[in-house]
Amino acid sequence: MAQGCAAHTGLGGLMAVSFSFATAGRILFGPGTVNRVADLAVPSARHVLLVTGATPTRADGLVTDLVRAGLQLTRFAVDREPDVAGVADGAQLARTKGCDMVIGFGGGSVMDAAKAIAALITNPGPVTDYLEVIGKALPLKSRPVPCIAIPTTAGTGSEVTRNAVIRSAPHRVKVSMRSPDMLPDLAVVDPELTLGLPPEGTAASGFDALCQLLEAYVSAKANPLTDSLCREGLRRCARSLKTVVENGRQLEARTDMALASLFSGLALANAGLGAVHGIAAPLGGMHPAPHGAVCARLLPGITAANIQALSGSPNHTHYGNRYREVAVLLTGDPQSTAPMLAHWLEAMTHTLKIPGLARWGLKEDEIAPLADQALHSSSMKGNPVALSAETLAAVIAAALEGGL
């Protein structure tokens, strides 16, 4: 299933577009939808591997529902970002127990682990056989067992993406296991599950959604369908991101951010991302930094660098207009310009108390090698303009303690 958008000149000189769009087999959205999961799982499964985060008790209500529905249950907790050994252990446990379905209940790391485990249950062998960059990137030979993804944060959109990000400690990198078959069979997005998130995590995950929407909107692989998702998601971020950080029990704002996150996952899975994620991936392999906080701190600088680099590009008008549209959507000011966008983003990082990258252990002597790694990241293919390693290094350096 191809991603992106192809354009050609049609009758009368008008531009015609063609694209494909893939997502989860089914999406359920709304407060209380988690209560439907057990009934929907029963026809497809007898024994479920339930993958949860560091606080498995958050899934106790779901566990009760699954057991009442007559399903056998094995639990597997992921207390950090998934790594090679962890997903291998999860898959082995599932095979030993005879699990025929995987349910991921948690944040992006949990859903990535669940998707990878579901694939590895039916595709044995070393995990590295299926990993990009450090492995063989082999295609899956067999379809994964059915997978249900239930996010409890609003940021990654992993419930509707076709890859799992996995950390390799020996290589100090995070890489993807990717296949169209890894799209979950069912994504259940219940905003009520995010009501108890603390402000710091809410800010980081919410900024991740905003970043994914912005990068997908200005991506070289954007298409009209992802554009619509991004515009609507950005509107919801603009009116609700600050609100959910200040008042996490506000269900209307939580619903906005859950939708923004879902839309960001749909968009990135079909339009790709850009330089922010190109840096965030290798940085996350070097240090145990929260992905959303890293993206938030890098987004203003990359936005400013892209806008400046585009000024001498043949695509200046097209992407300049896109950045201006985002500025208007986020600020609510119809007179906003593209350069004003980076300053709005920087101000929002301060409002939401997003720390500099040094907080997560990044040091000055790591900036140059990080920029070089980022330059070769797959996410860079979607960036609207080519950036040099020197430009990336300057953005990272500025984000070390603060920002613009």
Report the pLDDT value the prediction gives residue 2, as an integer from 0 to 100.
37
Confidence of residue 404 (pLDDT cuts 50, 70, 90): low
Percent of the chain with pLDDT over 90: 87
pLDDT at 317 over 70: yes
Report the pLDDT value the prediction gives residue 172, as an integer from 0 to 100.
85
23 close to 269: Cβ distance less than 8 angstroms = yes
Q: Which residue type does 285 have?
A: G
Show the 3-state SS of the chain. CCCCEEEEECHHHCEEEEECCCCCCCEEECCCHHHHHHHHHCCCCCEEEEEECCCHHHHHHHHHHHHHCCCEEEEEECCCCCEHHHHHHHHHHHHHHCCCEEEEEECHHHHHHHHHHHHHHHCCCCHHHHECCCCCCCCCCCCCCCEEEEECCCCCCHHHCCEEEEEECCCCEEEEEECHHHCCCEEEECHHHHCCCCHHHHHHHHHHHHHHHHHHHCCCCCCHHHHHHHHHHHHHHHHHHHHHHHCCCCHHHHHHHHHHHHHHHHHHHHHCCCHHHHHHHHHHHHCCCCHHHHHHHHHHHHHHHHHHHHCCCCCHHHHHHHHHHHHHHHHCCCCCCHHHHHHHHHHHHHHCCCCCHHHHCCCHHHHHHHHHHHHCCHHHHHCCCCCCHHHHHHHHHHHHHCCC
pLDDT at 247 over 80: yes
Q: Which domains are delineated in the chain?
A: 31-194 (3.40.50.1970), 199-401 (1.20.1090.10)
pLDDT per position as a tens digit, 319-358? 999 999 999 999 999 999 999 999 999 999 999 999 999 9
Q: Counting every residue, how long is the chain? A: 404
pLDDT at 10 over 50: no
Report the pLDDT value the prediction gives residue 16, as an integer from 0 to 100.
54
Q: What is the pTM of this model?
A: 0.94
Average pLDDT, the chain: 93
Q: How far apart are CA 294 and CA 364, in angstroms?
A: 16
Report the pLDDT value the prediction gives residue 322, as an integer from 0 to 100.
97
**Cα Dmax for the chain:** 63
pLDDT per position as a tens digit, 176-189? 999 999 999 999 99
217 close to 267: Cβ distance less than 8 angstroms = yes
Q: How far apart are CA 327 and CA 340, in angstroms?
A: 7
Confidence of residue 80 (pLDDT cuts 50, 70, 90): confident
Confidence of residue 48 (pLDDT cuts 50, 70, 90): very high
Report the pLDDT value the prediction gives residue 133, as an integer from 0 to 100.
87
Residue 106, both tokens: 């948690």
pLDDT at 28 over 90: yes
